[in-house]
Structure 1
Amino acid sequence: MEELLQSRRAFIKTAGVVLGGIAAASMVACAPAATAGNDTAASVNEIDWDEEYDVIVVGGGLAGMASAVTVATEGEGAKCLLLEKGPLETGNGNSAYAAGMVLWTKEKDDFAEYVRELRGAMDNTPDDVIDAFAEGIAENLDWLKSLPGYSDDEVTITEYFEEGTGESCYPEHSELPHAYSLGRIRWNSDNASGNTQVTLFMNSVKNSFSDSITHKTNAPATALVQDPETKEILGCVYTDGSSSKYAKATKGVIMCCGGFENNAQMKADYLSASWARRIAGACNDGDGITMCAKVGADMWHMNSCAGFWTSMSAIDSDICLMRTPKEEGITVGVNGRRFYMDWDKDVAEDWDTFAEGDLSTHVGSRHGHMQFGGEWPHLPMPEKTWFITDAEGYQSILDNKMMAIDFDPMDGWGYTADTIEGLAELIEVPADELVRTVSQWNECCANGEDVYFHRPASTLNPVEGAPYYALFCPPTMLNTDGGPRRSAKGEILDLEGQPIPHLYSSGEFGSIWSNMYQGAGNLGECLAFGRISARNCLGIA
């Protein structure tokens, strides 16, 4: 009997709860002490719950708010706890920093085919999950319109790509047969309400349901509570100030924890890029992935991300800018050579590219994915690269509207020298190689053709006027898409493909995107699967 009890306790410990000892296996090294009443619990039935709700949502970004609002509007009085680990009321992941555009469609079946085309040979997002996603995307506009505070006057709605307008949700992979099946919902930048993107709007909606949504910031979840016999998720443990709280969820827990952009070990394991710097959210460190792994969740899409650009960054800190205007020079590695198509401007930012037909021979970037052998994977990038430009190019960078910086980039961001050889010495690359690379580049510029990596002719600006500059440009990324495997109902699945009872997910936390990505797709997914998961959690789907 004692042997059986110890085995049972060991199982519960891996699930995030320890019985007959410390009641929660915290993932935070200096976490507050567990609730004293649970220290001697011999089974989950003896847990002394501090709080009880119908649904607990972990992660307060767009996916979490969409889930919580669905509980409030469709749960017939159901109560929801929304936990956010950081201080921002709109979440400390990526959605608050995004452009705020949301996918929608009038052509559900065609859009589902487009997502399948984006999946391609990376055949690990099942058709039924894609179909559920397409159904949710088709509902996005009507659902937003149904929420309190929505106004058509505050948004711009487009149904398909309109060349040259800059107003539509571009089909990021326009060469695919069903690319023109999508539209975009965009909040205007001059709204009187202050809701200039969907996350701000959803925050205002969430705040209008304070009677049914209890929202806590600076309250990270640290463990899931699982019944070791039924595998049912009973609730979670979170820290609130100086103590741990045991919160019971009678219907289920929805995990909306984002990705692992701040977890160097996970980036090394899954992306071969532990050094990639995150551009947006500060709190996505993969803790939700670890929590779900402890209760037996399977993982998918761990290699999928929006990356990598090489962007101007501080040499000795994690500060980085979104992008560097690469048309003003060339990017080299530590060997002093160019090594990839180093004009990583987003394809959709250059409307002229859409007139050029087959994008398998085109160049540019699609959310960090670069053309490589005619396809668009994300490329594992080296740890250290340098952007080389001259006096004219450097001034153009300073004047560029995307580089509105009020400091000297030479102060910890790069180096300058009067000669290429001198610059090579400062950045510790072989001088003969860097001289040869710059000479080859200038020859390409003179001839109007990049014979090495096929950059557009309009970006061929020579590097020939002293002083010369080297800007530090390591790889940067927006977000990861990996996490727990998800069903069409938003359920988190175990290693045998079975739902873990009462455990769901939404957003970038185990996203549906496995291969190529469509812009505005993550925010669209936050709304779509936020509703899907909440409805199935409530039992009303």
Structure 2
Amino acid sequence: MSASLSRRSFVLGGASALSLGALSLAGCSAASGNGGAAVSSVEWSEEADVVVVGFGGAGAAAAINASEAGASVIILEKASEKDAGGNTSVSGGTMCLADPNNLDTAFEFIRYQMPDTTTDEEIEGYLEESSTLQQWLVDHGANVETNATKGSMYGALESAVAFPTSAKVGGNGFSLFTFLKGVVESSAGVSVRYETPASKLVFDPETREVYGVLATAADGSQLAIKAKKAVILCCGGFENNHQMKTAFYPPEVPIYPCGTPYNTGDGIEMITEIGAQLRGFSSVEWGCHCCKPASEEVGVSCGFTWTDFECWSNSIMVNARGQRFVNESGRTVSDRKILRPLHDKSQIPELAFSMDTLSYANLPMFFICDNAKVKAGPVFNNCSSAAGNHWANIHEWYTWSDDNQAEIDKGWLVKADTIEELAGKLGVDPAGLAATVQAYNEACAAGADAAFGRTDALSPVSEPPYYGCELGLGIINTQGGPVRDGAHHVLDTEGNPIPRLYAGGEFGSLYCWLYQGAGNVPEALGARTAGTNAAAEEPWD
């Protein structure tokens, strides 16, 4: 298309003076106090009815429905095609589904989990999407397998009966995204632009009406893409943005994304500068522990499988004093097979802070195991060849060796002939660690862990040589982003829809306080509503 399809005086959204990222307003003039950099015109590179930012589950669902409503769609994806799919592609793929015949009780269940600022209208919209999701998938050719067990991890709530089943498409989230990608590729009028990150919204400084998106193409050229009807932001969170994690979570904690490393909070800049209402930035969905040196080098979490309690066999976790501080193989929810601290909303001991020392009481923290553990298979098994989710293996960034030798050679797992020698190499108090291992082994022999009540994987650390590493915390995703209504409009600070701007998925997730297991995937696919509504907008030009 012509580079001068249309010209109009807009605002080119720049970084806000209160930027949540690293951009600044240097050299730019503010427009109407919204933090944008004023420009007199934009030369459009190309156009579509709807522009979708992000190609994960939410972006795919939005594009599919927009196409089916007759709209042309451009999807902008930051990652390469190999790394596309967002967090959906490395999720467990399980979807918690509301019973369409029991929506009143389902409403009670979701209402209980939400802060009072979440509107009833948004909950009702979510439940409509959840209760019709299975049929939507089937209508698009999916083989949906259902599990007739409680769909939610909060079984203690009586209203959980309204979520009686969970569903999957294939074995995991990668299977689900592969299916969605195929539907997108067969949808009329949809174009996916890989390695093309969006950077700014183009909008009117007075009305905030959104007209398009600026992006950078794979060849480095700058694009101005006109959205004749609407823009839908499905760009995930900020799991891989150190500055934002430090701003919203306890600082100086080693945190590594279990999901896509491309979630660096790009969309937060866009909605901040346009004046969107924000929510959910304190909500963090912990994953399981990970090997810190491996995660640092690979760039994503190399950690434990969150449903495998035996990953703690012949192993313990200690602080720098060599002391255990938690039941390592404990459960987040007592009646579910969920390894802590996955989705834990309690005050986790890993983050305990001492006002006496003005430091974290249990950080740094260390994994200690023996030769029996190393001989049994990959120590950090969620990036092994058998891993069913997590980024490292699924997207072929790193696969942990079956015998752990490659990781020992790299120095990720430190080896020593004695516990005291291992402690010295790791920087842990030798006497403290030796006493802890002795006490733990005695508990294993007695069959009862009086110190922390550990029952799963209660096996000794007794066969030399010994191994260890510093641990980090995995993070599944963040939930912070824009407030939206039941139709997926992004709302401004006064609660009014920002014209032609929609959002979906975990970018401003409904789950900004409690999170029910398997809730984010159906929420992501609920962005199909945003696609339908965006396609129904009247073209602005």
Could you say whether these structures have the same fold, taking a TM-score greater than 0.5 normalized by the shorter chain as the test? Answer: yes
Alignment of 1:373-384 (within 5 A): 384=364
> Which string of whole-angstrom CA distances, capped at 9 and with x for unpartnered residues, describes residues 23-59 of structure 1?
xxx9899xxxxxxxxxxxx987743222222211111
Partner of 2:423: 424
Match of 1:3 in 2: none
| Deviating more after overlay: 63-72 vs 457-466 | 457-466
1:383 to partner: Cα distance = 5.6
Confirm whether residue 339 of structure 1 aligns to residue 332 of structure 2.
no
Of 261, 269, 288, the residue aligned with 1:282 is 261
Q: Which residues in structure 2 correspond to 1:9-408 (within 5 Å)?
A: 12=11, 15=14, 46-73=41-68, 75=69, 77-88=70-81, 91-106=84-99, 107-119=102-114, 122-147=115-140, 150-151=141-142, 154-161=143-150, 169=151, 171-182=152-163, 183-189=165-171, 197-209=175-187, 211-240=188-217, 241-273=219-251, 275-315=254-294, 317=297, 318=299, 320-323=301-304, 325-343=311-329, 354=335, 364-365=339-340, 367-369=342-344, 384-398=364-378, 403-404=384-385, 405-406=400-401, 407-408=404-405
CA distance in 2, matches of 1:370, 1:432: 34
Q: CA deviation at 1:108?
A: 2.7
Alignment: residue pair count: 476
Give the aligned partner of residue 34 of structure 1. none
Please tell me the residue identity of whatever aligns with 2:236: G
1:253-296: CA deviation from partner (whole Å, max 9, x where unpaired): 10000111110001111122553011221211101111111111
- Aligned partners of 1:90 and 1:204: how far apart in 2? 15
Q: Residue type of the partner of 1:129?
A: E
Deviation at 1:473, TM superposition (A): 2.1
1:124 CA drift (Å): 3.8
Q: Which residue of 2 aligns with 1:466?
A: 464
Q: Residue type of the partner of 2:340?
A: S
| Deviation at residue 126 of structure 1 after TM alignment | 2.7
Check 1:440–1:127 CA distance in 2 against 1; reply closer, same or farther (3 A cut): farther
Counterpart Cα distance in 2 of 1:338 and 1:137: 42
Match of 1:197, SS state, is helix
Deviation at 1:367, TM superposition (A): 3.1
Q: Could you tell me how far 1:460 is from its partner in structure 2?
A: 1.7
Q: CA deviation at 1:215?
A: 1.7
- With over 3 angstroms needed to count, the CA separation of the structure-2 counterparts of 1:341 and 1:482, relative to structure 1, is farther
Query: For the structure 1 residues 365 and 108, does the alpha-carbon distance in structure 2 shift closer, same or farther, using more than 3 Å as the test?
Result: farther
| Structure 1 residue 217 displacement after superposition | 1.0
One-letter amino acid of the structure 2 residue matched with residue 500 of structure 1: I
Task: Give the letter for the 1:52 counterpart.
Answer: E
Mapped contact 2:200–2:214 kept (Cα < 8 A): yes
Quick check: 2:315–2:369 contact (8 Å CA) kept in 1?
Answer: yes
Specify whether residues 424 and 87 from structure 1 end up closer, same or farther in structure 2 by C-alpha distance, changes over 3 A only.
same
Answer whether contact 2:506 2:524 (CA < 8 A) is retained. yes
- 8 Å contact 2:232–2:504 — kept in the other structure? yes
User: When the two structures are superposed, what TM-score results if normalisation uses the length of structure 2?
Assistant: 0.79
CA positional deviation for 1:366: 6.4
* Aligned partners of 2:153 and 2:516 also within 8 Å: yes
Displacement after TM superposition at 1:328 (Å): 2.7
Change (3 A) 1:400 1:363: closer
CA RMSD for the aligned pairs? Answer: 3.3
Whether the aligned pair in 2 keeps the contact of 1:369 and 1:379 (CA below 8 Å) is no
Q: 1:322 to 1:390 in 2, by over 3 A?
A: closer
Q: Which residue of 2 aligns with 1:438?
A: 437
Counterpart CA distance in 2 for 1:27 and 1:371 is 31
Q: Tell me which moved more, 313-322 or 101-110.
A: 313-322
State the distance in 2 between where 1:367 and 1:80 align: 36
Q: Is the 8 A contact 1:416 1:470 kept in 2?
A: yes
Deviation digits for residues 98-132 of structure 1, max 9, x if unmatched? 2222332323333332223333xx44433322221
Give the whole-Å Cα distance in 1 for the aligned partners of 2:12 and 2:226: 18
The question of whether the paired residues in 1 share the 8 Å contact of 2:61 and 2:525 is answered with yes
Q: Contact between 2:13 and 2:203, CA under 8 Å: does it hold in 1?
A: no
Question: In the TM superposition, what is the alpha-carbon distance from 1:228 to its structure 2 partner?
Answer: 0.5
What whole-Å deviation, never above 9, does each CA across 1:518-538 have from its counterpart, x for those lacking one? 23211101111x122223323
Amino acid at match of 2:156: E
- CA gap of 1:80–1:519, structure 2 versus 1, over 3 A, is same
Match among 525, 535, 539 for residue 532 of structure 2: 535
CA distance in 1, matches of 2:171, 2:325: 39
Amino acid in the other structure paired with 1:214:
S
Q: Say which SS state the counterpart of residue 314 (structure 1) adopts.
A: helix
Gaps of 5+ in 2: 1-8, 25-36, 306-310, 354-359, 386-399
Q: Are the equivalent residues in 2 in contact too, given 1:487–1:493 (CA < 8 A)?
A: yes
Distance apart, 1:540 and its partner CA: 7.6
Q: Letter of the aligned partner of 1:201 in structure 2? A: F
SS in 2 for 1:459: coil
Structure 1 length normalisation: TM-score?
0.79
Distance between the aligned counterparts of 1:451 and 1:515, measured in 2? 33
